[in-house]
Amino acid sequence: MSLQLPKNMMVQSSGRSLSIDFFSDDEVQKIFHEISDKISSDRRRTGKHKRYFLLVEFLYRTGGRIDEILKIRPSDVNLATNSIRLKTLKQGKDRNGIQREKYRVIPLHVDLRDAYMQYLLDMNISTKSEDPLFPMSRQVIDLYFKKMQDKLGFKIHAHKFRHTFAVKAIMDNVPLNVLQQWLGHSSILTTSIYTQITGMDTSQFMERIR
């Protein structure tokens, strides 16, 4: 069972208090509700709002960086294995020193799978398409979120979904090395910041030690 995320939790790191900005569960629901309302009311731009609904699902259910999400093609979503291939921002070199694109594979959440399949059906998009699933720019997305932010009254930006994903994963006891892989952190020390949530009851982990 997923734990509820409150607002204004703090994360401690290296003796300093760092504010990790993430959404509460209530805020996430408000965001989805707001986009759903636009899908119903703004008939001329229904397709646009459906695309944003799916974009938020991908951000919220994968923890991917916005630039990684914008590179996703339907061919990167494997429905047979329920997985998503994300192209990482950093390129690697093969044994011959040639630059190669790097990917990481993460599981496909059931809610994201449902939303994704419905979107492909509504927009008549092939699961094998090599075209970007989200043919939008960062600037346009930022503007869409800014307008929603002004209406809903709390800060909304793409990277906040990544923090939300990470905090929820930690609170649901996802192992740190698994979360590191999902987030694409090169160092587990970067991932570990999410484990140091003030007020989190860690006694459950001590009880497992035998």
115 assigned to some structural domain: yes
46 assigned to some structural domain: yes
Q: Are 74 and 120 in contact (CB under 8 A)?
A: yes
20 assigned to some structural domain: yes
> Sheet holding 103-107: strands in order across?
77-78, 83-87, 103-107
* Domain interval for residue 193: 11-207
179 assigned to some structural domain: yes
97 assigned to some structural domain: yes
How many domains in the chain? 1
5 assigned to some structural domain: no
Of all helices (H) and strands (E), which one includes residue 117?
helix 110-123
Supply the CATH number for residue 42's domain.
1.10.443.10
Distance of CA 165 to the CA centre of its chain: 6
pLDDT digits (tens, 9 = 90+) for 52-91: 999 999 999 999 999 999 999 999 999 999 999 999 866 6
Contacts of 199 (CB under 8 A, 6+ apart): 9
pLDDT digits (tens, 9 = 90+) for 123-181: 999 999 999 999 999 999 999 999 999 999 999 999 999 999 999 998 888 999 999 99
2 assigned to some structural domain: no
15 assigned to some structural domain: yes
